[in-house]
A and B are shown apart, each in its own frame.
Chain A
Amino acid sequence: MQYEAVIGLEVHAQLLTESKIFCSCSTQFGAEPNTQVCPVCLGMPGVLPVLNKRAVEYTIKTGLAMNCRIAPYSRFARKNYFYPDLPKGYQISQYELPLCEDGYLEIIVDGEKRKIRIKRIHLEEDAGKNIHDPSGYSFVDFNRTGVPLMEIVSEPDIRSPKEAALYMKKLRTILRYLGVCDGNLEQGSLRCDANVSVRPVGSTEFGVKTEIKNINSFRFVEKALEYEIKRQIKLLQVGEKIIQETRLWDSQTGTTQSMRSKEEAHDYRYFPEPDLVPVIVSEEWIEKIKKTMPELPDQKFDRFLKEYGLPEYDAQILTEEKALAEWFEKAVVLGGKPKEVSNWIMVELLRLLNEDAKDITECKLTPQELVELLTLIEKGTINRNTAKDVFEEMYKTGKSAETIVKEKGLTQISDSSVIIEAIREIIAKNPKEVERFKAGEEKLIGFFVGQVMKLTKGKANPKLVNELILQELKKGE
């Protein structure tokens, strides 16, 4: 029997607000343990939460970007459970009335558009971190406690690990475009839990699902799901039942392990948070937020096709990161030809950034400098091959193209007399090859061009070299 997977993702995104969701403590990552805490985020007796308006704004922004309905009236709820990293013994979250509902986002799977529906987006506070010491003691760091967290829940519309990864990527792209989350899975500012079940192809009913937690890298989204789907199918094939449970992804072994069964699941005893008033979102507020929305990746993609005539592949890659798209556009505005700029970015720039594991925002090279390089090529000052080396040098040193060309004497030789001199030298040195060429072995032209380029240290204008070699070789006939 053929099986298909049914996957829904629950994504937690830490919001990039300056301060925590219910107090004014900093949200900065990586500080000394328990240095970014106060009585409010520590949940001490008698203190009260005060909602960070910016966090609500960021969530509404996200909801709008994901085509959600923004609730005019929503409220917070308490999710009750005991754990040392949860200082109040409950997490302030949203339950019955989330801020955003019923949205979707589009992904492109094998060239085809797929709509993945978003069930809800709600706002909550993050928990702290337990640190288990080899001595047997456990410590708690509350710096992360109260960092605003957005939970984005998809409908079970995803059908393969690949789709899940594409969905995650798209989600991350949008969050980064909006500037509401830095989308770092490794540092945990973006976290992903997956609900997975399998069913015979053609069936419309859902199978028994498991929840996979601890998927903390993009690579693992696909890997963990692939493993879990295979595991479930294997069980069904031998006639066993799937148990509804929570499973933990173990990247060491590449497997998922049972964490707790449905029977052991917590009863969170949700109820409306009495310390906070309902969140009222007016039409005016939504309109105001809409005005601050940047162009989103899908819109940018469409525009890049239309405005710059880029192939879909180029537009796709360029619009994945807002900063990259902006880098591209700046170069075009400064006079670069769109497709040429795109080629340089995709072939050279992204390769170099990738080698250094750097982000476009950390790139020293400016669009202005690329355009200057392109101008040198166009003017024939340097040839395309030399330009690649110059580009790399520019990327590494931050020097301008002109400086590098001057310093290294890379200016292209377009003086025919100089080139002819070199050609004559090569012809004189290689009488056998000249014989063979004259005997009709025409492909040897490449050999002569190569030798001439070598002699001129690659600076000769390749077009001229080609023309002049033919001319010289044919002379003696």
Chain B
Amino acid sequence: MELHKLTVVQLARMIHRGEIRAHEIIIDVFKRIQEVEGKVKAFITLTVEKAYNMAKDAENAVFSGKKGILTGIPIAVKDNICTKGILTTCASKILYNFHPPYESTVTSKLIENKYVLIGKTNMDEFAMGSSTENSGFHITRNPWDLERVPGGSSGGSAAAVAADECIAALGSDTGGSIRQPASFCGVVGLKPTYGRVSRFGLVAFASSLDQIGPITKCVADSALIMNVIAGYDPKDSTSAPIGISDFTEYLGKDIKGFKIGIPKEYFIEGMDKEVQERINDAIKHLESLGCIPIEISLPHTEYAVATYYIVATSEASSNLARYDGVKYGLRVTGKDLLEMYMKTRSKGFGTEVKRRIMLGTYSLSAGYYDAYYKKALQVRTLIKQDFEKAFEKVDFIVTPTAPTPAFKIGEKIDDPLQMYLSDIFTISVNLAGLPAISIPCGFNMKGLPIGLQIIGKPFDEAGILQLAYAYEQSNPWHKMKPTL
């Protein structure tokens, strides 16, 4: 039986019924990895031995009746989420040897639930990028077309899920890094509301935007993972002090009468025709399920990319200052302290990371702060207010996740501006701190997946999942698999 092809929901049910044991799943998943990982290259580290030990723990938990919903489920974790004693690199040479002495809150919760860690997935270095080409180690390929990128920065996680190299994965989303690769790889990716999931142990790129979320084969799987990882964490001051929700609560419930906003600024000329068609189809489909589409306006959308690249890079320039060769990670010695700093950081960071550190440092510099950083914060507030106004009229906002399907490897890597524009539909959501999901909504003529983004009100992940589930269950897209 091809266990690796199954979902969390399916495997959890089988484990619950005693039809299967955790180590059997692991054996099958590692067999799959052996077959396809050479082509996809989704992982930086495979934790084979660890996985078998965890599978044993899971089986003991099942045996003693202390099982959780994710017990025995093989999950891949993005390599910017700290796993105690396990190499955590952020796909950066500067952390090539970093084994954190602590566990992130999300993986601690997964461990309590007796999950099985399969490995740490590839990404753009420090989550900076939209194609996973910025990895300091190797590129990852899109399982639907090996000549194409899987998206980024959580490209490894999305590709691993799409290629059935794991059952589900964790990613992180700062400007679209869960949703855009989910869209490119034809899987589901949820970015929770800022503060919904603890950031403790997530290596920071841009602290005010970063959020961890699930990448899964279906909507219900995302809901199940959210049930485990979400919640207030005293170790993260920015996590929201609100009670625990059951994210599966509304799955399968009627969506009749939901008002879905269609922002006119997101359907611009020059957009990929096939993407536009699939999104229009999806909106029509939602209408057929009883939703009411309403045209809305998010007038400050055109400033989102510029705002994002000031806020995110400013925070990043500070967050990445700790990689100086003094305490851990790469150190290149020099004749004095300054030379050690310069050599270490020159050698340790890749081009895109350096570019963003410089952008951010510039934006925060004396004399430029008001014109850049401060202005960006003001625009960020306006963008947030756009959404607040829109949500007075509608329950959800529906947009394409990305302006195009997966592009070719190398196509945009030398043109950072073009690369930055691939996040144009996802970035505003991070600036506003809102939850949003990307779900498959069809394919283009070349057989590349296209993603539909559903944006919700703050902390309405359950609503988003309800709408997404209704769409998913009445369409065939999520059942389609790439041929590898």
Contacts and interface: CB of A to CB of B under 8 A. Distances in A.
Interface residues of B, number: 44
Contact of A42 (B82, B314, B327): B327
Interface string A269-297: 11100111100000000000000000000
Nearest to A43: B322
Contact of B200 (A42, A48, A51): A48
A311 interface: no
A322 interface: no
Given A48-B200, A80-B364, A269-B318, A274 B341 contact: no
A88 B323 CA distance: 8
B177 interface: no
B322 A46 contact: no
Nearest to B199: A48
A84 interface: yes
A275 B202 CA distance: 12
Interface string B333-370: 00001000100000000000000000001001110010
Contacts of A78: 318
Contacts, number: 101
A44 B314 CA distance: 19
Interface in A32-50: 39, 42-50
Given A46-B203, A80-B321, A271-B314, A51 B237 contact: yes
A89 B365 contact: no
A84 B366 contact: no
A80 B326 contact: no
A277 B366 contact: no
A96 to B, nearest CB: 10
Given A44-B100, A271-B364, A89 B236 contact: no
A82 interface: yes
Contacts of A263: none
Interface string A83-114: 01001111000000000000000000000000
A342 to B, nearest CB: 51
B85 to A, nearest CB: 13
Given A45-B90, A84-B326, A50 B235 contact: yes
A356 B45 CA distance: 64
Nearest to B311: A274
A46 B235 contact: no
Given A46-B100, A84-B326, A275 B238 contact: yes
A88 B321 contact: yes
B324 interface: yes
Nearest to B367: A267
B77 to A, nearest CB: 12
A349 interface: no
Interface in A175-233: none
Identify which of B200, B315, B326 gathers the most chain A CB atoms within 10 Å of its CB: B326
A140 interface: yes
Given A46-B82, A46-B200, A47-B102, A274 B207 contact: yes
Chain B at the A interface: SS class: loop
A39 B102 contact: yes
Contacts of A277: 237-238
Contact of B234 (A49, A50, A84, A276): A50
Interface in A126-155: 138, 140
A138 B90 CA distance: 29
Given A80-B364, A267-B366, A269-B365, A48 B235 contact: yes
B52 interface: no
Contact of B208 (A87, A138, A274): A274
Nearest to A45: B203
Interface in A47-75: 47-51
B373 interface: yes
A384 to B, nearest CB: 64
A46 B201 contact: yes
B88 interface: yes
B104 interface: yes
Interface string B220-238: 0000000000000011111
B328 interface: yes
A359 B202 CA distance: 49
A46 B80 CA distance: 8
Contacts of A90: 318, 321
Contacts of A44: 100-102, 322, 327-328
Given A39-B102, A269-B361, A45 B322 contact: yes
Nearest to B92: A45
A379 B185 CA distance: 100
Contacts of B321: 80, 82, 88-90
Interface in B76-116: 80-82, 88, 90, 95, 98, 100-102, 104
Contacts of A43: 322
30 contacts: A39-B101, A44-B100, A44-B102, A45-B88, A45-B95, A46-B81, A46-B102, A46-B200, A47-B102, A47-B200, A47-B201, A48-B200, A80-B317, A80-B318, A80-B321, A88-B321, A89-B320, A89-B324, A90-B318, A138-B337, A269-B318, A269-B364, A269-B365, A271-B314, A271-B364, A271-B369, A274-B206, A274-B208, A274-B238, A275-B237
Given A39-B102, A88-B321, A274-B315, 12 more contacts: A44-B101, A44-B102, A44-B322, A45-B88, A45-B204, A46-B199, A80-B317, A87-B322, A89-B320, A269-B364, A271-B364, A276-B238
